[in-house]
Amino acid sequence: MTDTNIIVEKKEHCFACLNEREVAAITKKGPLCASCLSVRPYYDVSKHEHCSACGHLRYVASRDEKDNPFCPKCHLANRRKNKDLRRKCECCGKPRLLSKNRRTGRRLCTTCRNNLNVRECAVCLKPRVIQAFDRCRGCYTRKRRGQDDIVVSVA
């Protein structure tokens, strides 16, 4: 049994973006549209390989110089252990583990990446890291759970 099944011409709410679209795949978490499947390759089981470190069949997050595949978990473990992989953040200049910001294209540390998204939440009106739809994580989670009508106290 695979984690992903391909379905043709069926519209449902995508669990990732919450839009009603044609279902490209059904995962353990629910239906996934084609655009979300393209930006989340870890759901596409056909592209999975056995990790050279742990041996699990997973999405390939990186490869070493010998082209051996590493799953996301082992990739992060290797980066944390190997201090040579730490590079200077393009924002603060500190040597840290970096990730590429999709919006700006810059390589940033977690702290600087999160600070780019700090704005006033549209629901609770507090300065927070914005998750989606101009909402902080707490307000966005309540919206996804259908508890959007709950009034958040502003203190």
Predicted confidence (pLDDT) at residue 108 exceeds the cutoff of 50 = yes
pLDDT in tens, 113-144: 778 778 899 999 998 888 888 888 889 888 88
Higher pLDDT, 42 or 56: 56
* DSSP of 90-154: TTT--EE--EE-TTT--EE-HHHHHHHTEEE-TTT-SEEEEEETTEEHHHHHHHHTT-TTSPPPP
Q: How many CB atoms lie within 10 A of CB 74?
A: 19
Res 101: pLDDT: 67
Report yes or no on whether pTM surpasses 0.75.
Answer: no
